[in-house]
Amino acid sequence: MSLLIVGLSHKTAPIDIREKLYFPETRLPDALENLISQSAISESLIISTCNRTEVLAHSPDINLGIHLVTDFLSDFHGQPKEVIQNFLYDFSHTDAVRHVFRVASSLDSMVLGEPQILGQVKNAFTLANRLGAVGENLSPLMNKAFHVAKRIRSETGISNSAVSISYAAVELSKKIFDTLNGRTVLLLGAGKMSELSAKHLTSQGVSKLLIWNRTYQRAVDLAKTLQGEAIPPEELFRHVERADILICSTGAPGVVLRKTDGQRIIKLRKNRPVFIIDIAMPRDVDPEINKIDNIFLYDIDDLRHVVDANLKHRLKEAQFAEGIINEEVQSYVNQVHSLDITPTIVALKKHWDLIRQEELEKTKKQLGELSTEQEVALENMTQSIIKKFLHGPISEIKSVHQTSSGSKHIEMIKKMLGLKE
């Protein structure tokens, strides 16, 4: 199979080491050209993200290929080999196939089941393909990896539940409201977490986004980014009753919304329910506000409980996904090995058919003139003999080609049957 991977990830290297081996997009073409210029590297692609850098390559000499790729990573980034060596891992043959499938399916990601890695792997393949760095060996492997990733997402629930604080807010919102279509969200503070939560909520159908921040210009800038409406600091309570969902992350040193504010909000909303997500530290919302009818308050700990529960769910689904990986790896390996031995089987059949034809012609000359029926009978008989003669050796070749000693065994069969390279 002649596949190899050399790389590091969040599992083996801290961020300061991962940064040293990161490939900016602008340098990837030069890197790939450098790789495939190596005599023992026929094809290659590079996956480089904040959490991993991996070189996938095809090489007729695995040990030499791993050595060359390791030297390449060291030289290209100007990092001494002794600095990076202990953080690197390598896979070859079937283990490399398994690793590619697991990475594309997000089973090897920091956040199990996250969708971004598949897009990153596809981009890496697209670039390598455009530059002519992949061909008949890596292209089928990557297309199979994309198929496996799609199958895992459709047949398991590994990506169905929220495992980020920001997306957990969406799940909780859906439990309060039958639908998020037409709902209004108010960002109380314009921090990164509240921005992420707002993006998730708007992707689920929320139609209006209000943004309030103590620094008005920050609210204006974020409103442009998210296509929302900025609220001046002094006008909070002129607009707060419009919001079905409040996301609070102000960074204020104390409480921003008190129980009396909650009572006022519910009165202004005429008892329509409001969902408050407090992801600030320290908290923006007085916990007492949760005692008011039709106000549903969740803080960051509540969201973490959701995330933890969903992570357990994903881990359970990952077990099913690993079963799919095992099945698909075996299927791919069998397919590749079948392609590997096809030329040998074809050559054996051709070699012995030539011998058959030569001997048949000698026999015909000795027998003299034959009828059409007799010629057909001789042809069928000799073909049948060769077919039966080769049945055992070909079955043996198919049986042993996947074993560790398969190559040596096949070579012995070829020599015994007179088939030369």
Q: In terms of Cα–Cα distance, which of 148, 160, 58, 50 is closest to 101?
A: 148
In sequence order, what are the residues at sequence separation of 6 or more whose Cβ sits closer than 8 angstroms to the Cβ of residue 303? 165, 168, 169, 172, 277, 279
Compute the distance between CA of residue 162 and CA of residue 137 in angstroms, rounded to an integer.
37
Q: In terms of Cα–Cα distance, which of 252, 191, 260, 181 is closest to 222?
A: 191
Active-site residue, selected from the candidate residues 19, 33, 39, 50: 50
Contact 117, 103 (CB under 8 A): yes
In sequence order, what are the residues at sequence separation of 6 or more whose Cβ sits closer than 8 angstroms to the Cβ of residue 47? 7, 53, 54, 56, 103, 120, 121, 124
DSSP state at residue 80: -
Contact 136, 2 (CB under 8 A): no
Q: Whose structure tokens read 């039966």?
A: 388
Helix residue ranges, H only, 131-215? 138-155, 165-176, 192-203
Structural tokens at position 75 = 């030289």
Contact 146, 57 (CB under 8 A): no
Structural tokens at position 367 = 């027998």
CA distances from 349 to 59, 218, 301, 308, 336 (A): 29, 76, 70, 60, 21
Length of the chain: 421
Q: Is 50 a catalytic residue?
A: yes
Strands 229-231 and 295-299: unpaired
Compute the distance between CA of residue 95 and CA of residue 4 in angstroms, rounded to an integer.
9
Q: Which residues are catalytic?
A: 50
